[in-house]
């Protein structure tokens, strides 16, 4: 099924290279210019690509906006992720959240609450910033270097608590550490009294989609408490993500989970 892949490859290329020319597209797809011309015309007619006035450069078409919207909807209705959240809650005893990257923030879309009377829970549908949450840091850390830098340099890391990282350079270093560690930690950086760890959610093609966080009150969800369960959490998350058709943890993270 070669030609089907070509359509998808073309859209992916347009995503990463807005304003590409026909020649570039033909080059990347390894086809003749004439074939690329015919292909792009078809895609354009379907509204999945658009050209500038001159007809020389291609962009993603507006119809893809509604595609993405529907994809988020169906993603949420899918019940394949809930078991992951539940298993992480059972292991940790704390609330578990799933958030997607959306408009430069993390959008909370799914939640499983801690059974404890004292618990932390963020309403579904609300947004959290990237720089001061474990969710955001896990997501950022999972991105390719270039994209991560672009995002970090584009945001304004405003102070939320005394622990908030407000310097972009420090944040980038923290993201390096997060990447090496395999999971993100929020040490009361977004809200006083709240601590989280979070794991990036990466699809089978390696694209970062969002993150899953385990959130608890700082007096209980201490470093020691995290250390006690982190191996189980990493193992369970890796299993669950793979079972749900995602990439699972990266080799480095998986290595740690094998300890």
Partner DNA sequence: CAACGCCGTTGCGATTCTTGCAATACCGGA
Partner DNA sequence: TCCGGTATTGCAAGAATCGCAACGGCGTTG
Closest by alpha carbon to 137, among 174, 97, 162? Answer: 174
Range list of β-strands (E), 125-207: 127-128, 184-187, 194-202
User: Which of 31, 99, 122, 138 touches DNA by CB under 7 A?
Assistant: 31
- Say which residues have a Cβ less than 8 Å from residue 176's Cβ, sequence separation at least 6: 141
Tokens of 113: 């609450």
Distance between the two ends of the chain, CA-based, in angstroms?
41
State yes or no: residue 39 binds DNA (CB under 7 A): yes
Closest by alpha carbon to 91, among 246, 235, 244? Answer: 235
For residue 210, the minimal CB distance to DNA (Å) is 27
State yes or no: residue 46 binds DNA (CB under 7 A): no
Phi-psi sector, 257: left (phi>0), alpha (psi -120 to 50), beta = alpha
Which residues contribute to the site for its own copies (CB under 8 A)?
A: 1, 3-8, 11-12, 15, 18, 38-39, 41-43, 45-48, 50-53, 59-72, 74-75, 77-78, 80, 100-103, 107, 125, 203-205, 207-209, 245-246
Tracing tokens 């998986």 back to the chain, one arrives at: 254
User: Which of 8, 18, 21, 104 touches DNA by CB under 7 A?
Assistant: 21
The site partner of 102 among DNA, its own copies, none (C-beta below 5 to 8 Å per kind) is: its own copies
Considering beta carbons, is residue 51 or 242 the nearer one to DNA?
51
- Interacting stretch for DNA, rule CB under 7 A, among 2-10, 148-156, 190-198, 236-244? 2-10
For residue 78, the minimal CB distance to its own copies (Å) is 6
State yes or no: residue 8 binds DNA (CB under 7 A): no
- Cα 200 to Cα 63, 176, 178, 240: the distances in Å are 28, 14, 11, 13
Considering beta carbons, is residue 193 or 245 the nearer one to its own copies?
245
Closest by alpha carbon to 132, among 53, 186, 180, 168? Answer: 186
The site partner of 203 among its own copies, DNA, none (C-beta below 5 to 8 Å per kind) is: its own copies
Question: Total residues at the site for DNA (CB under 7 A)?
Answer: 21
User: Which of 12, 18, 19, 37 touches DNA by CB under 7 A?
Assistant: 37
Considering beta carbons, is residue 47 or 93 the nearer one to DNA?
47
Considering beta carbons, is residue 41 or 252 the nearer one to its own copies?
41
State yes or no: residue 33 binds DNA (CB under 7 A): yes
204-229: b or e for each residue (b if 16 or more CB lie within 10 Å)?
Answer: eeeebbbbbbbbbbeeebeeebbeeb
The site partner of 33 among its own copies, DNA, none (C-beta below 5 to 8 Å per kind) is: DNA
Phi-psi sector, 244: left (phi>0), alpha (psi -120 to 50), beta = alpha
Where do contacts with DNA occur on this chain (CB under 7 A)?
1-4, 6, 21-23, 30-35, 37-41, 55-56
């Amino acid at each position: 099924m070669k030609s089907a892949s070509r359509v998808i490859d073309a859209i992916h290329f347009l995503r990463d290279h807005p304003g590409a020319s026909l020649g570039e597209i033909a080059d990347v797809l390894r086809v003749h210019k004439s074939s690329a011309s015919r292909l792009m015309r078809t895609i354009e007619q379907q509204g999945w690509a658009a050209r500038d006035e001159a007809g020389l450069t291609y962009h993603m078409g507006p119809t893809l906006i509604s595609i993405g919207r529907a994809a988020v909807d169906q993603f949420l209705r899918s019940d394949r992720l809930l078991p992951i959240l539940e298993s992480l809650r059972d292991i940790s005893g704390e609330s578990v959240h799933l958030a997607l990257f959306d408009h430069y923030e993390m959008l909370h879309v799914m939640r499983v609450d801690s059974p404890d009377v004292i618990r932390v829970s963020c309403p579904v549908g609300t947004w959290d910033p990237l720089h001061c949450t474990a969710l955001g840091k896990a997501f950022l850390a999972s991105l390719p270097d270039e994209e991560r830098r672009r995002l970090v340099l584009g945001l304004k890391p405003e102070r939320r608590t005394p622990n908030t990282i407000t310097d972009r350079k420090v944040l980038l270093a923290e993201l390096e550490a997060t990447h090496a560690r395999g999971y993100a930690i929020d040490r009361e950086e977004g809200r006083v009294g709240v601590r989280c760890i979070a794991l990036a959610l990466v699809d089978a093609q390696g694209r970062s989609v969002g993150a899953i966080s385990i959130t608890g009150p700082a007096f209980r969800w201490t470093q020691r408490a995290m250390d006690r369960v982190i191996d189980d959490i990493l193992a369970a998350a890796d299993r669950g993500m793979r079972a749900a058709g995602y990439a699972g943890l990266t080799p480095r993270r998986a290595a740690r989970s094998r300890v």
